[in-house]
Chain A
Amino acid sequence: MRLAEAWRVALDALRANRMRSALTMLGVIIGVASVVLLVAIGTGTKQKVEQQVEGLGSNLLLVVPGKLDVGTAPVVSPLTLKDVDAVSRVVGDPGRVAVTIASGATARAGARSDFTTVQGVLETTPTVFTRSLARGRYLTGADVDTSRRVAVLGASVARALFPDRDPLGQQIALAGVRFRVIGVFTPLGQSLGVDRDDEVHIPVTAAQRLWGTQRVDGIAVKAPDRERIDQLGDRIVAELSRRHPDTEFSAVTQQQILGVLGDILGVLTGVLAAIAGISLLVGGVGVSNIMLVSVRERTREIGLRKAVGARPRDIGVQFLLEAVLLTSIGGLTGMGLGVGTALLVDTVSPIPAAITWWSLALAFGVSAAVGIVFGVVPAQRAGRLDPVVALRAE
């Protein structure tokens, strides 16, 4: 039998049982659609996080005490502003060095309050982290030098504390101490479910006084050029180690952060795809089941075809194509559904989703393969049917 003929016969058989074919396909459709959708969400999340990390500013170098490794306990920082000066000398430009000391705190304004992250920073932060203001101004060197009680609000905090007023010039209280709002950040949005606009920046000196400490948590450096960024990191770590022989320091680049995040999110995407793959497998079992029913139902047809000269292979191929057709049509429909849902999710929800060609190719390939794998047993059974027994079947 010619292959084109076999395709036509298979298609006819599916048409003969439209409802059943559609229901069988549904399993495959759901499986493929969920693979496509979940991979799209995984990929979209990864892309967005990478964008955001890149948005932190290029050539960024983070210096923190302790080893930067998953599962290591945080170390109490021995760093002070004197160390920051030393790092500035190594870098050669104080404008490229930022610090942070951060703590959760409740910000109050009148009757309203908002729990947020308060960051003590230098005036260099907008340069190093590429931040911009929506309103007002940022901290100045003088603000830092004189521990002035001024604050720049993240967009969410500004909205929470001053929903119907201009926050500029207003007073807020942090841990009972009053600060004057001098600026509001441009919104950044969410990242991995974290609101990045939920923060308040105050001068690092004011923060240290507020919490009664001399330490800073970490230092960030915007390297002058990408090529020597690792070298610069080594020199900073060496200098800090010299000043604090008991503590280990690490310098991580943006590239390394991207790498670690990418790995984590890649694994996450893989896990999502695998879970979705299970539903595809279940769809495949459904195909196998229906094909066995189909073989049984059409036993007499098989017997007749054999009687007029169909070889076992002709019958086997006919049923195998039927299974492959079921899963391929289901696969294509599932792809369409998955892409559509992903686009919808991406536009109407905060969850990002990005379609990749490889996931489509994979989903379709797998669904066709599922047809072959789960069609082989019913097809072989059909091919091996004894024609005499088959013709006698009811």
Chain B
Amino acid sequence: MTLPVGVPAIEAVDVSRTYQLDGVSVPALRGVSFTIDSGEYVAVVGPSGSRKSTLMHLLGGLDRPTDGRLVIGGRDVATLSAPELATLRNETIGFVFQAFHLLPRTSAVDNVALPLVYRGIGARQRRDRAAATLGRVGLGHRLHHRPSQLSGGEQQRVAIARALVTDPAVLLADEPTGNLDSATGEAVLELLERLNAESGVALVMVTHDQEVAARARRQIAVRDGRVRSDAIHDRPLSGAVGRPATLDGAPSAEPRSVSGSGPGHPSGGSGGAAGATGRLSRPPSGRTAEGVGGDEPQAGGGS
């Protein structure tokens, strides 16, 4: 799905999510604000229990904020009914889960075609598109295998194809390599990065791995339901290969604001070796970020 020019893929303004547990309000997310532009590559990091998954569910329209404004693909989720939100998920969002979540008795091609079922697309066209998408993730030869007949890496690639088959604006991946060994995980990661670079689909990926996070151009650090930092840094890493031309050769980091320039408007100095890469953190609007620095991912290993 191609969004109109100037429409951010996702826009969160002071988004909160509170759970009711035995009549007690438990705040999970507290006033999160940021914008994801189309084509961006964002890593979401934070310790376990910091509400990264909760945040991803909101960004993907699986859940609704209890407070604040959340606009996905130009549509304010507060104004959408349950079926409208489902349609929005179908058209705008592609999910990749840590646990793959493939239908076990269904072939790879039919698993990939599943989102198209809910678009009312006919069986033949679904299969054609699913097969083509499986080809894009390098599984053109595994169309009729069931998940149990595939390796973990292949299963995750099927799941990626499923997320991609609807041509979404955003790919949301919650620890997509969490269940894979490092070599397989690296391949999946490279696939995601390649798809992000090639098709312009925004990629928002939760990861525990600092090295992985460092490959993203932008990192959002979450702790205890708040955005601790939101930083952009450009490095000539695989994630940057094939990025829009304006990004190339702009290895320095720059501060960013919610309403400010997206990745398409980099500014700042040039040059700089990886070790010298700047790293700026931006507190969420209207808040003060605590502890900027210490626990932030190190941008390193670029050279």
Residue in contact with A1 in the complex, picked from B97, B101, B118, CB distance below 8 Å: B118
A308/B89 contact (C-beta < 8 A), A12-B105, A300-B101 known: yes
Using CB atoms, name the residue of chain B closest to A392: B53
A314/B118 contact (C-beta < 8 A), A308-B162, A388-B63 known: yes
Q: Is the CB of B105 within 8 A of A306?
A: no
Q: Is the CB of A311 within 8 A of B82?
A: yes
- The interface residues of chain A lying within 8 Å CB-to-CB of B119 are 309
A391, CB-defined interface residue at 8 Å: yes
Docked complex Cα distance between A388 and B85 (Å): 14
Q: Is the CB of B82 within 8 A of A312?
A: yes
- The interface residues of chain B lying within 8 Å CB-to-CB of A387 are 62-63
Docked complex Cα distance between A307 and B95 (Å): 7
Return the CB mask of A1-37 against B: 1 if under 8 Å, else 0. Answer: 1100100000010001000000000000000000000
B78, CB-defined interface residue at 8 Å: no
Using CB atoms, name the residue of chain B closest to A314: B118
A310, CB-defined interface residue at 8 Å: yes
A244, CB-defined interface residue at 8 Å: no
Q: Is the CB of B101 within 8 A of A309?
A: no
Docked complex Cα distance between A305 and B63 (Å): 15
Return the CB mask of A290-317 against B: 1 if under 8 Å, else 0. Answer: 0000000000110111111111111000
CB neighbors of A among B173-205 (8 A): none
Q: Is the CB of B82 within 8 A of A1?
A: no
Using CB atoms, name the residue of chain B closest to A310: B118
Q: Is the CB of B83 within 8 A of A313?
A: yes
Q: Is the CB of B86 within 8 A of A304?
A: no
Q: Is the CB of B97 within 8 A of A309?
A: no
- The interface residues of chain A lying within 8 Å CB-to-CB of B82 are 311-312
Q: Is the CB of B118 within 8 A of A311?
A: yes
B50, CB-defined interface residue at 8 Å: no
A307/B89 contact (C-beta < 8 A), A2-B120, A313-B83, A388-B63 known: yes
Q: How many A-B residue pairs have CB under 8 A?
A: 64
- The interface residues of chain B lying within 8 Å CB-to-CB of A2 are 117, 120
Interface residues on B, range: 20 to 34
Q: List 23 A-B contacts (CB under 8 A).
A: A1-B118, A1-B120, A2-B120, A301-B103, A303-B101, A304-B101, A304-B114, A305-B114, A307-B60, A308-B95, A308-B114, A308-B166, A309-B86, A309-B118, A309-B166, A310-B86, A311-B86, A311-B87, A312-B86, A386-B63, A387-B62, A388-B63, A391-B97
Using CB atoms, name the residue of chain A closest to B159: A304
Q: Is the CB of B60 within 8 A of A309?
A: no
Docked complex Cα distance between A223 and B74 (Å): 91
- The interface residues of chain A lying within 8 Å CB-to-CB of B162 are 308
Q: Is the CB of A309 within 8 A of B120?
A: no
Q: How far is the CB of A7 from chain B (nearest CB, A)?
A: 12
Using CB atoms, name the residue of chain B closest to A384: B82
Interface residues on A, range: 20 to 34
Q: Is the CB of A306 within 8 A of B86?
A: yes
Return the CB mask of A367-394 against B: 1 if under 8 Å, else 0. Answer: 0000000000000000000111001000
Q: Is the CB of A308 within 8 A of B63?
A: no
A308/B115 contact (C-beta < 8 A), A301-B103, A313-B83, A388-B57 known: yes
Q: Is the CB of B118 within 8 A of A308?
A: yes
Residue in contact with B62 in the complex, picked from A1, A12, A16, A307, CB distance below 8 Å: A307
B38, CB-defined interface residue at 8 Å: no
Docked complex Cα distance between A308 and B117 (Å): 10
Docked complex Cα distance between A198 and B62 (Å): 81
- The interface residues of chain A lying within 8 Å CB-to-CB of B114 are 304-305, 308
Q: Is the CB of B83 within 8 A of A312?
A: yes
- The interface residues of chain B lying within 8 Å CB-to-CB of A305 are 114, 118
CB neighbors of A among B44-97 (8 A): 57, 60, 62-63, 82-83, 86-87, 89-91, 95, 97
Docked complex Cα distance between A301 and B111 (Å): 11
Which one of B57, B86, B89, B95 has the highest number of Cβ atoms from chain A below 10 Å of its Cβ? B86
Q: Is the CB of A309 within 8 A of B57?
A: no
Residue in contact with A309 in the complex, picked from B63, B87, B103, B105, CB distance below 8 Å: B87
CB neighbors of A among B110-133 (8 A): 114-115, 117-120, 123
Q: Is the CB of A308 within 8 A of B103?
A: no
Q: Is the CB of B62 within 8 A of A306?
A: yes
Docked complex Cα distance between A310 and B103 (Å): 14
Which one of A304, A305, A386 has the highest number of Cβ atoms from chain B below 10 Å of its Cβ? A304
Q: How far is the CB of B266 from chain A (nearest CB, A)?
A: 34
Which one of A303, A307, A387 has the highest number of Cβ atoms from chain B below 10 Å of its Cβ? A307
Using CB atoms, name the residue of chain B closest to A308: B115
- The interface residues of chain B lying within 8 Å CB-to-CB of A391 are 62, 97, 101
Docked complex Cα distance between A304 and B60 (Å): 13
Docked complex Cα distance between A5 and B120 (Å): 9
- The interface residues of chain B lying within 8 Å CB-to-CB of A301 are 103
Q: How far is the CB of B20 from chain A (nearest CB, A)?
A: 13
Using CB atoms, name the residue of chain A closest to B84: A311
Docked complex Cα distance between A310 and B89 (Å): 9
CB neighbors of A among B13-69 (8 A): 57, 60, 62-63
- The interface residues of chain A lying within 8 Å CB-to-CB of B118 are 1, 305, 308-311, 314
Using CB atoms, name the residue of chain A closest to B87: A309
Docked complex Cα distance between A304 and B83 (Å): 15
Return the CB mask of B141-158 against A: 1 if under 8 Å, else 0. Answer: 000000000000000000
A308/B62 contact (C-beta < 8 A), A1-B118, A314-B118 known: no
Docked complex Cα distance between A313 and B118 (Å): 11
CB neighbors of A among B195-219 (8 A): none
Using CB atoms, name the residue of chain B closest to A5: B117
